[in-house]
Structure 1
Amino acid sequence: MRRRAGLLSLAALAGAALWVPGAGAQLGPEPPVRHVQGSWVNLRERPRPDARVEAQLPANTVVRLLAEQDGWCEVFYTGDDRLNPDGKGEVIRFIPFQSHMACNLLAAQPLTLPQAAKDPARAFWVAPSPNRLRAYGNALPRPATLQMPALQKSHAEGAEVRYAARPEFDAAKRLLRAGVLLDTAHEIARGKPVPDPVADLKRPGLRLSLQPIAPSRFKRHGEVALLHDTEADGLAAVAGSRIAVVPTAAPMGRYNRHNGPEIEFVTGFWDVGAADLVFEPPLTVYAITQQGLVGAQALRKRSWQIDNADFYCGGNYTGPAFADPLSDAGDEVVPVKRYARLPETAQVLTRLVTTTELPASAVVVKAQRQPMGWTITAEPPEVPKPVRIQTAVVAYEIDLDRDGIPDILRIEVPFKGEMSGHPIFAHHWYLNVGGQWFRAGRWIDQECT
């Protein structure tokens, strides 16, 4: 431990003995804990802005306040496990030391995520996650040579884009490569309850008689995540799995739907062009079919969709979502024994991750239909005569624990396709949490030319 002559200690100002770390309480009261509020804050050898920098600390690093004078604080720093998450770097040989920093970058309480939300770097260190790492990388200021107007002139499609090293961002990447455990309070947000899902669809004339809702399997939002309403961060938080980001390629210039010559976007974020998401232990993803069968797959790794290409056409989720696990898409996924082997033709109503194991026995699915239809007018020669379309709104009430109360609701609503006149569908999911319905995802079909 290095100790230096410097500011008069707070303990000495109070007439108490100077605190010596590890020497015992009899030498003085324990200095108060303080939390770093800034981003990559400098610890300096002396209380001067031009003094040598001894370390740099991310938001919410914990230090002990030893003294305060003229806007400078003398602090005792014992290291931060977040900067050496695998235990193989310098922190394992770290020697605690006293140093100095600006007092206005310290607070008695740690930053919360809402407080840090406007600063992506601080938000990451408050609640590290893949999505916040991506937001952090996207927010880093790019020099003029790495902004799109310059890249369009200097880079061909498929050419690597090189970014300068950023020590704090490199530390963030190391932390995510090692993996982190997430908090459902940070990752699961479904908004306000929906008193009446049928009315929520805003379709005049829609009449469905849903079963009465009451508290059932899920008492808190953090107990369940549907693949339809959250991304990898939310699923890992609910499952209690450590989630890691493993970069696999550098950023590259790409174009969307033509052959250039100019590129239209750069893959990934900052110097992460492609990456895998790894879950440890693997996520157990349950699937519920129309017949009430329960299937399960263990998902350990998947390629993270960060290519940044524009969405063009086709069915899609309108909010956060996680694509179904597919072995032929590069996912490392295996069936879980004891659960039904679902055929590829099975109509899966919902996929979900829960904090507790779902029984392998069949669940109860109640379906009801409300017929509806329209006429496609004649437009010779393609449509020689009018065509009557018959379809229906279908609601599926899914009772996971067979107590007579639905836990998940899926409603399929048909629409008249603007080009073909044939039905296209919007699929809505609602989740029963504590006896109230909450929106839990929406998928819409889309006609493509």
Structure 2
Amino acid sequence: MSNSIQRFSFLITCLCLSAAVSAEPALASVSAPARQWVSGSYVNIRTAAKKDAPVSATLIINTEVRLLAARDDFCEISWENNQHGFIACKFLSTKPVTLAELSSKKLANGATDPSLSARAFWLQPGYDRLMAVASYFENTMLPEKQRESERKYAESGGAENSEIKRFPIPELNAMRAKLAAGIVAPKEIAELASNWDGSPLGMLPSSALHQWVYHQIRLTKVPSSFFQSTNELASPKTTPEKISAQFGIPWKLAVTAPPFWGGDNNSGPSKNGIWDMGEISQRLDRPIYTIGMNEKAELVQTSSTIDYREIPGGDTSPCVGNPHILWPVTDSQNATHIQGLFRSNKALNLSKAKSTVKLQVLLQPKSLPADPHFIRALTRYIDLDGDGIPDLALWDGINTQVGLGDNSEYHLKLIFVNVLGRWHFLDFDEDDPPCGC
């Protein structure tokens, strides 16, 4: 071989070696496309097997894909409608992820791992999980400079300047879009009426005074009448999400205001909202019926989608009131938003409804706190269908409180429903305590 040919051959060999070193490593094809599932909550799919390649799509947890090839950190996949891209292999699993699997993963103190909240949301979307994800982002993604600015503002009583600044997070936006489109909540979160045997339930206030009051409630014995199942009616204070779970009606969520500074001269400034959500509105996709009582003790019925608003994180001002069960409903209140007595998925014929009231004197023992002091109770029995059998019992315990004047009265209200001849507890309400602001 001549020298020139040898030099040319050597040059070609060097060029090929150089190209082999500089090229991206090829992904190794699998023998046959294998079924896999996305295991990350909201995973970027890229146009090439590189970390800085453009994002072409995002896939949520448990999206089924086909594994085409794999090498090192990246896997080539395809999914519905022959879409194609590259995913970090660590976000693939050979089986779908379950809620039970996520809930079994705990922190050292036994608490649920907040880093798993996003995955749990996509498996079963809901309000509480959305708030858990937003709280996790608040705790882990807020720049320290912004956090310190807000802390100083709160501690200074508002003397410092601090604007609440949050940047958009695509996954959180996608979660809200999912709820804004409307979903049916899972049945297991519905809050149905609970059997009442005269013993206080765990959801009720449990002070010594409250315990005594509950034992003063003596409901008349009843046979079966109007309601045949606890699933026929919902609490007047329950959220659209839980009504959705009970009646199978889609519910929707919307953010109606950004975070804002609240509080007052007593509490000082307090941040209201979580991440970029200052006020949330829930509503049903179609109306249901609310049954209440007017000032003449007549049952009234309205239809609405129940616009339920709340501030994530709450307002720490001591003078912020709570939503209350209202009876009777006064003319000054908006009848389309009455809390009423209960909610129903169907319109009721109330033309035969009747009610009676029984007075009960309450003699509060001196061994209990003197304030508040319960003095009497009124129990209103409501017969919905006119068969002479009570279907609802409204127990209204009345007390006086120190510093409110001789004529001031406060109320503890409990609603009971007759289901198949047994009284069931539906909900309770208590007047807000005196406010010193």
Provide the TM-score with structure 1 as the length reference.
0.65
Q: Does 1:189 align with 2:191?
A: yes
| Conserved? CA contact 2:240–2:284, under 8 Å | no
1:397 partner letter:
Y
1:203 aligned residue: 212
CA distance in 1, matches of 2:160, 2:255: 20
SS class of match (2:229):
coil
Matches within 5 A, 1:15-414: 32=35, 36-43=38-45, 54-59=56-61, 61-66=62-67, 75-78=77-80, 96-97=83-84, 99-102=86-89, 106=93, 108-109=95-96, 111-112=98-99, 115=102, 119-140=116-137, 141=139, 142-147=142-147, 148-152=150-154, 160-186=163-189, 188-189=190-191, 193-196=195-198, 202-203=211-212, 206=216, 208-212=218-222, 214=224, 217-221=227-231, 223-228=232-237, 230-238=238-246, 240-257=248-265, 264-288=269-293, 293-300=298-305, 302=307, 304-306=309-311, 308-313=314-319, 316=322, 334=336, 350-372=340-362, 391-402=375-386, 406-414=390-398
2:299 partner letter:
V
Cα shift readout 1:224-249 (whole Å, capped 9, x = no counterpart): 32123x22322344455443333343
| Conserved? CA contact 1:44–1:101, under 8 Å | no
Cα shift at 1:134 = 3.4
| Conserved? CA contact 1:243–1:280, under 8 Å | yes
Cα shift readout 1:380-401 (whole Å, capped 9, x = no counterpart): xxxxxxxxx9942222334444
Cα shift readout 1:251-309 (whole Å, capped 9, x = no counterpart): 22233235x9xx62223221123354444323432224587633222334747231732
SS class of match (1:281):
coil
| Conserved? CA contact 2:358–2:378, under 8 Å | yes
Q: 1:271 to 1:328 in 2, by over 3 A?
A: farther
1:358 partner letter:
L
SS class of match (2:264):
coil
Cα shift at 1:431 = 4.1
Cα shift readout 1:28-78 (whole Å, capped 9, x = no counterpart): xxx65x65443223445677878765433333x421344697897664333
Which 10-residue stretch deviates more, 401-410 or 161-170?
401-410
SS class of match (1:396):
strand
CA distance in 2, matches of 1:151, 1:271: 18
1:267 partner letter:
N
| Conserved? CA contact 2:255–2:280, under 8 Å | yes
Which protein shows a greater Rg?
Answer: 2
1:203 partner letter:
W
| Conserved? CA contact 1:215–1:434, under 8 Å | yes
2:17 aligned residue: none
| Conserved? CA contact 1:293–1:361, under 8 Å | no
Cα shift readout 1:299-338 (whole Å, capped 9, x = no counterpart): 34747231732252587469xx899999988x8x759xxx
SS class of match (2:164):
coil
| Conserved? CA contact 2:293–2:327, under 8 Å | no
| Conserved? CA contact 1:277–1:303, under 8 Å | yes
Structure 1 segments of 4+ aligned residues over 6 angstroms from their partners: 46-52, 67-73, 153-159, 198-201, 321-329
| Conserved? CA contact 1:44–1:55, under 8 Å | yes
Task: List gaps (5 residues or longer) in structure 1.
Answer: 13-17, 19-30, 79-93, 336-347, 377-388
Q: Which has the larger share of helix?
A: 2
| Conserved? CA contact 1:430–1:437, under 8 Å | yes
Bigger relative contact order, structure 1 or 2 (CA pairs below 8 A, ≥6 apart): 1
CA distance in 1, matches of 2:117, 2:243: 22
Cα shift at 1:168 = 0.2
| Conserved? CA contact 2:236–2:339, under 8 Å | no
SS class of match (1:210):
coil
| Conserved? CA contact 1:63–1:76, under 8 Å | no
| 1:417 pairs with one of 398, 401, 416 | 401
CA distance in 1, matches of 2:336, 2:219: 39
| Conserved? CA contact 1:411–1:427, under 8 Å | yes
Q: 1:209 to 1:257 in 2, by over 3 A?
A: same
Cα shift readout 1:360-408 (whole Å, capped 9, x = no counterpart): 42434343332235799xxxxxxxxxxxx99422223344445665544
Q: 1:405 to 1:428 in 2, by over 3 A?
A: same
Task: List gaps (5 residues or longer) in structure 2.
Answer: 1-25, 104-111, 205-209, 367-372
Q: 1:253 to 1:416 in 2, by over 3 A?
A: closer
CA distance in 1, matches of 2:340, 2:122: 33
| Conserved? CA contact 1:252–1:273, under 8 Å | yes
